[in-house]
Structure 1
Amino acid sequence: MKSLPSCKPNNGLGARGTAWNTLVATTAAGAICFVQKTGVGLLLAGALTLAPIPAHSLELFGLKLWGSSEEETEPVPDPLPYEASLATTGDNEELTSQLKAASLLLQQQDKPPSGEAGLIARALSDRERLVAKLYSDGRYGGTVDISLAGVPLETALEQADLPNSRPVKVSVLIDPGPVFTFGNVSISTEGYDLSSDPAFWGLARGEVASSGKILSAERRIISMLRGRGYPKAGIAERRITADHANDTLEVTLIADAGLQARFGTVAVNGTDVTDPDFVIQQAMLPEGGVYSPEDLERARKRLNELGIFSSIRLVEGDISGPDGSMPVTIEVSERKRHVIGAGASWSSTEGFGVESYWRRRNLFGRGELLSVEGSIGRLGNESLQDLEYSARIAFEKPGVFGPLTSFSTSLAARQENPDAYKSRTLTFDAYLNREFSEQLKGRAGAEIFYADEEDAFGEDEYLLVGLPADLTFDNRDDKLNPSKGFFASVFAEPAYDTLNSNAMGFVRGTVSSYYALDQSKRFILAGKATAGSIFAPSVESIPASRRYIAGGGGSIRGYAYRNVGPRVNGEVVGGRSLIELSGEVRVKVTETIGVVGFVDAGNAYEDSIPDFSEGLKVGVGGGLRYFTPIGPLRIDAAVPLDPGQDDPDFALYVGLSQAF
């Protein structure tokens, strides 16, 4: 067990017997000395490391107090069984429950320690974590008494010889003491233009003096100083004094910003295949610019988005020179270069779908990505020759004209076979992509699209040459399970059909929004709207696979896949405009289970401008969500309120991630 440094009396604390406990810190490392002056209060002396107090982790006296620990992989020698009980004075059931949950002795009764020494060590650790829990509750005058087989812990430490009864009876008795409030609080940030008002830092006089609030204030002070260009900022001095006569806590925090820094030279460690100069280029750290944690975080995010590193660390060096230059070392670990993946989906209207891909990362050492992808759809609903197939080979190269641009190109072949048409297509495209900000991205390029299709109009061929472009804004907090933010995209493409001498233009936009009704994000409202138009001489002049047809998963749930839109002789042919609306109420019942209620509506129209007199098709339903580390598993059931020809009575959908 780690030894504890002793406390030395502070001559400025007053005569013995006065109702004061004083905690004094003289280093930025967080070492605090608790000097017991009264014989009342917490019977502890040592170095107290104030650390955050989340539910899963806490450290006190340099020891891990609670939190998940690694499972023992080897048998414990000389295991000593024991039975533990914990009681508190007073009738605060909630606090008692929290203390029991924090107690190592109670929570690990099924893991006997090694001999009496192991039990004593566990009891000492438990006392420290229980004291820390009292501190986090603002209780600085409580006592924690632990006895082992009737022997007080302090006596057991001295004699190290417990009675022979087994299992050992362990008793924990806690007097929580009163709740302390903040008294005089002094925040010293002289010369750094930061507020000295304790209330601004969450340490207002009269509020509960939780140790977590002090730590939070320190973190905020340091964060603000770092944000102003002081990377070595810290708390130079922390003085905490508990007044037991008035149940108040006096706090003095003195900040030391250190030197202001500028980004110096950038170095890279850990690369094997990757070109270090490429890493420096993509990080975009402004050499000579004033230090900024935001610049470091943006650099980390840009490097992470390359998908070629499993870990990324940005190590800050020492500040030197008259300009405060601070070198930065980017330490990376490269991911495996070959990736194989697969996925599957199912709905009662579209059947099974499977897909797989092979990827080669970092092809030439500068973040390039080569992908080969394939999928088969509508399994179980069609004969083999009528299934939906797709194959695609794609290449991406980041940093072609600076770190914010990339180039991508692909060649894809596809067969689609919904009820409305049968289509075989071949597409080649090339794009220049640009990141305008963390949320705003766009691309523009060229496309050649060949289609051989058969529908209600007959069989025809098309060869389109187009100039597609799109713009996307995305500030969602989670791509697979968003609880706040917006997603918006707009697409436009002028195109010319060289086989049939027809000019046309495609426009489509989508907006989705998410709003949490409570702080814990268990109740979320989600909405989505999509609209599109095609400007062409007629519906027949547009390839069937490019016309607007609604229905199915991702569109209007409950209706058959691509079965909502204008018809000719009873067959859906699609239209030149589209409206789709979706709304969901998402409720997280437990940490792993959620339920959803939804309404979808939409339609496709013959003209380029929607004719709302034709109304909207509506589908309603509900679903279950099972939250996994890679996203929610989704099961939805939907009913069409106005089913048409070939539409089912209801439909089921299974997939990964939320519907939108």
Structure 2
Amino acid sequence: MPAAEVAPLARPLAWRGRRQSRLAVSVVFTLLVCLTLTSSPSLAFELFGLRLWGSKEEQTDPVPDPLPYKPELVLATPDKDLQKSLETASLLISEEKQLPSGTDGLIARALSDRERIVATLYTSGYYGGTLSIRLAGTPLEDALESGQVSSQRPLPVTISVDQGPLFRFGKISITGTDADAATAGLQADPVHWGLKPGSPARSSEILSAEKMIITSLRDKGYPTARIADRVIIADHKTKLLDVELKVEAGPKATFGQVSVTGTDRTKPGFVSRQAMLPVGTVYSPEEISKARKRLEDLEIFSSINFIEGDISPVDGIMPITIEVSERKRHTIGAGSTFSSTDGLGLEAYWTRRNLFGRGESLSFDSTVGRIGATSADDMEYSAKVTFEKPGAFGPLTTFTTSLEAAQDSTDSYTSRNVTFEAHLSRKFSDRLTGRAGGELFYANEDDVFGHGVFLLAGLPASATYDSRDDKLNPSKGIYAYLFGEPAYDTLSGNSMMFMESTVSSYLALDRAKRFILAGKVTGGSIIGPEIQEIPASRRFIAGGGGSIRGYTYRNVGPRVDGEIAGGRSLLTMSGELRLQFTKTIGAVAFVDAGNAFEGTLPDFSEGLKVGVGAGLRYFTPVGPLRLDAAIPLEPEEDDPDFAIYVGLSQAF
């Protein structure tokens, strides 16, 4: 029978239990519920748009006198792309299933359609088209005057569109209306802004050019730049569209005093300091975007607005007001996982934000695994408390300290351990983050080598580079993680060095980003004493989701007397071809390969384990829901025939 391994849909459970044998029947169900404390007297739970219990806070009232109708859009000259654009713009078509309220509601929807369809024709470059809407054969104008329509149900609604000839750009002029425009170096060549004489005169391209002009001036320090006037003339004889844009740059500005409003518990000075707007420098929208991102990263505000003040006519100084709204300070979450072989697993967490008004947070996480196992020794426990203080040594540096006690149980070892860690993390750019600190790790373990006690003092450091366009469903970019930790075992006197790195890359094969190639390579090495003198919980063991799919979790690596002992080096590789068929449905084909090795460097003579498989994706607003099935090509006796994985987001 198959083995199943299900990844949590939200915060992952830290516990991991004894894995199933090839003949074991294991089905894992995951349910994570995140509840934010509110004053609401009742609760509802909704997952991926599906309401499982309770009622929504806002219920849609029934429409009085609903009027069913059947719309049809007829285009005089067939054009699939234009037809699709018009049908998308039409409320009569796009909202057909949302019945209007009586005749008045239907007529109001049709009147709105006239403006929307004409605007869509202009957007596509058609300025001489005609449009008529009939309700059961009655022109819309007559129905509007009489207020009556046919009693036929559903009422036939016909939208007839004759798009007319396609217009092209004729004369195009872009000029500045003030001296500041010349000073700003306004580019007058329309081709520079995407407006080329003789090309289809789509109004969307005019609006796009205007936006680029304003953005260009704002980027140069002119925050009040605007299109002062727009003259557009359509010549129906020549089928040409002449365009004249007059641009007003306005005064150049520098950042002035920063003030903060809307705070309750948060210190206003902390907000302005974290924003890091460079007072006295030339105005820059990019600097405002960076400041917004820094404040969003604090996770203490529900809304953040930057209000630009009036520019001083004397020195060009422009004050900035940061308007914020604070979010609720508490979050409570709970989760559960069940397996017929591993028993029941439970998780709970609690977070309190903004403890002292400067973004500090305190969180408690706890997990219990293998509930229902034969003895307490076979269960897994974890309890962790974490304190975090942003802006500890400057706005870009965060101090974090944590204490965790855990019991881990697998087929290969049992570890009871306590970890204390304190570190500083710093954002060097939007993509690059560094982290360094100190760690104390105590472990009391039993494994294939016997009993061992360890007390490691380490100095962990890491660097992360992330240029992905979407962390849950990337289509381009690179993710790279590099970790290193020199450690000293104060009980045995052994020194060791832990190193690990991961690189993931993503490439879209088409413009629509429906075909994505994704690759991932992970490597690691431990330099130091013999394998038995390294804590079992710190050795490299491969297998399972996030590693080599198809194999039992943490069941690939060097063995002693048939039992997994773990290795001092690791290499795993994954490749995926991701396909998206519709807006919500996709598929994946993948291959994983790798192993954990005895030496400090991978020895390919020990072989590589390979797993292959395929999966489905259901795309949701919070990321793709993943269902994968994998087959191990070289299974051991305790590996399944195939494994199933369920989770939120892509596999990597």
**What letter is aligned with 1:490?**
L
Question: Does structure 1 retain, via aligned residues, the 8 Å contact 2:63–2:100?
Answer: no
- The residue that corresponds to 2:406 in the other structure is 414
Superposition map of 1:157-176 within 5 A: 160-161=145-146, 165-167=150-152, 171-176=158-163
Question: Does structure 1 retain, via aligned residues, the 8 Å contact 2:63–2:99?
Answer: no
| Separation in structure 2 between the aligned mates of residue 350 and residue 653 of structure 1, nearest angstrom | 16
Shift in Å, 1:146 = 3.8
- Check if 1:142 corresponds to 2:129: yes
- Check if 1:641 corresponds to 2:641: no
| Separation in structure 2 between the aligned mates of residue 658 and residue 145 of structure 1, nearest angstrom | 48
- The residue that corresponds to 2:114 in the other structure is 127
Number of matched pairs: 588
**What letter is aligned with 1:571?**
E
Question: Does structure 2 retain, via aligned residues, the 8 Å contact 1:151–1:162?
Answer: no
Secondary structure at 1:95's aligned position in 2?
A: helix
- The residue that corresponds to 1:355 in the other structure is 347
- The residue that corresponds to 2:223 in the other structure is 231
Match of 1:319 among 287, 293, 311: 311
Per-residue CA deviation, residues 189-220 of structure 1 (Å, 9 max, x unaligned), is 55122432222211111211111111111111
Question: Does structure 2 retain, via aligned residues, the 8 Å contact 1:148–1:162?
Answer: no
Question: Does structure 2 retain, via aligned residues, the 8 Å contact 1:138–1:210?
Answer: yes
| Separation in structure 2 between the aligned mates of residue 432 and residue 163 of structure 1, nearest angstrom | 72
Shift in Å, 1:340 = 1.0
- Check if 1:446 corresponds to 2:438: yes
- The residue that corresponds to 1:338 in the other structure is 330
From the superposition, tell whether residues 207 and 362 of structure 1 become closer, same or farther in structure 2 (CA, over 3 Å): same
Per-residue CA deviation, residues 428-451 of structure 1 (Å, 9 max, x unaligned), is 010011111111111111111100
| Unaligned ranges ≥5, structure 1 | 1-69
**What letter is aligned with 2:354?**
N
From the superposition, tell whether residues 152 and 457 of structure 1 become closer, same or farther in structure 2 (CA, over 3 Å): closer
Match of 1:651 among 633, 637, 643: 643
Shift in Å, 1:631 = 2.0
| Separation in structure 2 between the aligned mates of residue 437 and residue 600 of structure 1, nearest angstrom | 32
| Unaligned ranges ≥5, structure 2 | 1-57
Match of 2:203 among 198, 205, 211: 211
- The residue that corresponds to 2:568 in the other structure is 576
| Separation in structure 1 between the aligned mates of residue 231 and residue 502 of structure 2, nearest angstrom | 56
From the superposition, tell whether residues 613 and 126 of structure 1 become closer, same or farther in structure 2 (CA, over 3 Å): same
Secondary structure at 1:653's aligned position in 2?
A: strand
- Check if 1:184 corresponds to 2:176: no
Match of 2:418 among 406, 421, 426: 426
- The residue that corresponds to 2:300 in the other structure is 308
Match of 1:95 among 78, 82, 87: 82
Question: Does structure 2 retain, via aligned residues, the 8 Å contact 1:348–1:651?
Answer: no
Question: Does structure 1 retain, via aligned residues, the 8 Å contact 2:63–2:101?
Answer: no
From the superposition, tell whether residues 646 and 121 of structure 1 become closer, same or farther in structure 2 (CA, over 3 Å): closer
From the superposition, tell whether residues 383 and 225 of structure 1 become closer, same or farther in structure 2 (CA, over 3 Å): farther
Match of 2:187 among 191, 195, 200: 195
- Check if 1:256 corresponds to 2:248: yes
Structure with bigger gyration radius: 1
TM-score (norm 2): 0.85
Secondary structure at 1:220's aligned position in 2?
A: helix
The percent identity for this pair of structures is 61
- The residue that corresponds to 2:367 in the other structure is 375
Question: Does structure 1 retain, via aligned residues, the 8 Å contact 2:126–2:166?
Answer: yes
Question: Does structure 2 retain, via aligned residues, the 8 Å contact 1:306–1:367?
Answer: yes
| Separation in structure 2 between the aligned mates of residue 583 and residue 80 of structure 1, nearest angstrom | 53
From the superposition, tell whether residues 594 and 387 of structure 1 become closer, same or farther in structure 2 (CA, over 3 Å): farther
| Separation in structure 1 between the aligned mates of residue 112 and residue 404 of structure 2, nearest angstrom | 62
| Separation in structure 2 between the aligned mates of residue 617 and residue 164 of structure 1, nearest angstrom | 71
- The residue that corresponds to 1:630 in the other structure is 622
| Separation in structure 2 between the aligned mates of residue 429 and residue 292 of structure 1, nearest angstrom | 39
Per-residue CA deviation, residues 288-307 of structure 1 (Å, 9 max, x unaligned), is 11111111111111111111
Shift in Å, 1:120 = 4.9
RMSD of equivalent CA atoms: 2.6
**What letter is aligned with 1:102?**
A
- The residue that corresponds to 2:19 in the other structure is none
Give the number of the structure with larger relative contact order, counting CA–CA contacts within 8 Å between residues 6 or more apart.
2
- Check if 1:536 corresponds to 2:528: yes
Question: Does structure 2 retain, via aligned residues, the 8 Å contact 1:347–1:654?
Answer: no
**What letter is aligned with 1:494?**
P
Per-residue CA deviation, residues 395-422 of structure 1 (Å, 9 max, x unaligned), is 0000011101110000001111111111
Question: Does structure 2 retain, via aligned residues, the 8 Å contact 1:349–1:561?
Answer: no
**What letter is aligned with 1:139?**
Y
- The residue that corresponds to 2:53 in the other structure is none
- The residue that corresponds to 1:585 in the other structure is 577
**What letter is aligned with 2:120?**
K
